[in-house]
Amino acid sequence: MMEEIRSLEDLLDLQHEDSEIDRLLDRRGSLPELEAYKKAHRELATLDSKIASLSGRLRDMELAVDKAEGELKLGEAKLEREERRLFAGGLSAKEAEHLRREVDMLRRQNSEAETTILELMDSREITQGEVDHHRADRDAIAAERGRLDDLIQIEWKQIDGAIARHEARKRELAPLIAEDLMEMYEQLRPIKQGVAVGRLAEGICGGCHLALSAAEQLQVLKSEPPRCLHCRRILVPQ
């Protein structure tokens, strides 16, 4: 009988170790820094997408500016040639009039090209400002994510160390517990929110915290192993 009680006491100790491990695992996955880290990670992904999109637009604008500037240089060179021809004289009235119209058209085209280039450069400057702003935000968030990662790793190291100590204690306790009792314990834990064993103290089940009458307590103590009539958890008499 004493051996059976000792086995139940060891089982209660094992339950304590498992409960502590469960608590630590829950803490490991619910660190406040972890949620903040995930938020920073999502924000970085969003910023990376925005930066990539804006950088693509920026490249397109730069290509458009280069193209417009190239076309303007050609237009200016052509205008210079046509103006020299016009001012050189020696043309018929009809040829001179046609050439003046050509020169006027080239001047308008070059003026429009200059306006287009200025607009493109303004847009490029605005877009570059947006890219720089997002990159500055990204650098700040990346630094914060790095800081959070350092904190999380420190916390996890401490938690994992504590879990390892509880696991070691479990390995010490397991051989002290009867095999059939251990099997029942392992079956109950998943369906009893991780708590398969409780102490019976002052007529109260330590698992479900419900009271048992004197007659019910006698009935519980006669069973092997003792089990709560309400929740069916294993009970360890005090």
- pLDDT value of position 93: 82
Per-residue pLDDT tens for 4-44? 568 899 999 999 999 999 999 999 999 999 999 999 999 99
pTM to 2 decimal places: 0.73
Q: How far is CA 157 from CA 18, 51, 148, 162, 220, in A?
A: 19, 35, 14, 9, 43
Q: Element (H or E) spanning 110, and its range?
A: helix 93-173
Share of the chain above pLDDT 90, in %: 86
Q: Which domains does the chain have, with CATH numbers?
A: 1-28+178-238 (1.10.287.1490), 31-174 (1.10.287.1700)
User: Distance between CA atoms of 45 and 138, rounded to whole angstroms?
Assistant: 9
Per-residue pLDDT tens for 86-140? 788 788 888 878 978 988 999 999 999 999 999 999 999 999 999 999 999 999 9
